[in-house]
Amino acid sequence: MMNYDHVRHGLRGMFFNMLGQTERARAAYLDSHRADPTHAATLRTLGWLEARLEHWPAAEAWFARAVDLEPNDAHAWFNLGYVRDKGGMDETAVAALKRATELDPNNDRAWYGLGMLHARHGRHAEAAAALAEAGRLQPMNGLAWYALGMAWHHCNEPDKVAEVIEHTLSHDPQTAQRLIRDTERSDYAHRLG
């Protein structure tokens, strides 16, 4: 049997969200959640709305509930990792992003976020592994390739840095130039504009 209160409040939430009235949308989705606390899509939407308001602990709580209900939802795990990262919960963010990549190995954003978290904590080999996946999935993403080059630089892998520079020069010369400067690759100085 359909829970009409849940649906009615959810539709109100969608309407207010389309109008850009985030607080009213949030209130309607909270009513929808009270009508059906086991509806994972409502939990994810509440997480997204809280994240939009930069209420990181609240967003984290909603996404955590969503993955408890649907533990194989890669997108929810990614969002959980994202809000944990934004909220300064780095190690639990790593765990959530790892789970997202296990469930969906083609999620370039999860690989990128995982790589950036590893880099932030000085785990440059782990960062390079994750960022290499992000770059493989999004070969034109200059940010991912720059971060990969820096990770290889910190791992003291000059040949791998050179590969990243060559790749980046072909599609994002400005990022390549920044990477050349930041890794102090004087052997590429002639390529700087």
In a domain, 91, yes or no: no
What number is the average pLDDT over the span 62-85?
98
In a domain, 43, yes or no: no
User: Which domain, by its residues, includes 143?
Assistant: 109-193
In a domain, 37, yes or no: no
In a domain, 2, yes or no: no
Q: Are 146 and 153 in contact (CB under 8 A)?
A: no
Polymer length of the chain: 193
Q: What is the CATH number of the domain that holds 185?
A: 1.25.40.10
In a domain, 186, yes or no: yes
Q: Are 155 and 129 in contact (CB under 8 A)?
A: no
Position 11 scores a pLDDT of 84
In a domain, 114, yes or no: yes
In a domain, 64, yes or no: no
Domain count, the chain: 1
Q: Which two tokens stand for residue 166?
A: 């060559």
Position 192 scores a pLDDT of 62
Interval 109-155: pLDDT, tens: 999 999 999 999 999 999 999 999 999 999 999 999 999 999 999 99
In a domain, 128, yes or no: yes
pTM: 0.88
What percent of the chain has pLDDT above 70?
Answer: 97
